Amino acid sequence: MSKSGVVLMDTTYWKRNFGVILFKDSISKENLLKYYVKTETIRLYQLGIEELILGGYTVLAIVCDGRRGLLSSFGSTPVQMCQFHQSAIIRRYLTKTPRLIAGIELKEIVKLMPNTDKESFEGALNEWGLKWNDFLNERTTNKESGKSVHP
């Protein structure tokens, strides 16, 4: 294999202890490599990238989920969290139907992600952050614990 491209990689589970780590070329959509696994680990992703490189594939960049530590695990190779996982993380914190105006506005900004460029998305996100900064920094004291928390 003497090819180059952006590698998409993720793990899908079918049972509690049975999954597949798949490495896919982003342009051709060709499956480059797969591992059957009980659990996904950063080391397995690293081994997969190493195997691709040893096989002659030039990894220009990697797109993956936001697993802790994964985004910084490939040296100088550019790594980006996929938009699906970025949206899923935000949705987990916002819920599917946010009630507060700040959450509703943030949800609308997240919807822009697949249809805009980095600068426009970051600009909209920064504007939202400035608009809602005071609200985001509000704190209250939990009467039972005495700890300062976000309301």
What per-residue confidence (pLDDT) applies to 37?
93
State residue 2's pLDDT score. Answer: 57
Give me the pLDDT at residue 52, please: 96
Domain 4-81 has CATH 3.30.420.10: yes
pTM (predicted TM-score)? 0.72
Per 3-state DSSP, the chain is made up of helix, strand and coil in percentages (nearest 5) of: 40, 25, 30
Nearest to 3 by CA among 21, 23, 19, 17: 23
- Length of the chain as a residue count: 151
Q: What is the pLDDT along the chain (151 residues), one digit of tens a residue?
A: 559 999 999 999 998 889 999 999 998 999 999 999 999 899 999 999 999 999 999 999 999 987 888 888 898 999 988 888 888 888 888 888 888 899 999 999 998 888 888 899 999 999 999 999 998 888 777 778 877 766 6
- Position 138 scores a pLDDT of 82
Which of 68-89 are b and which e, b meaning 16 or more Cβ less than 10 Å from the residue's Cβ? eebeebbeeeebeeeeeeebee
The full set of domain ranges for the chain reads: 4-81, 84-136
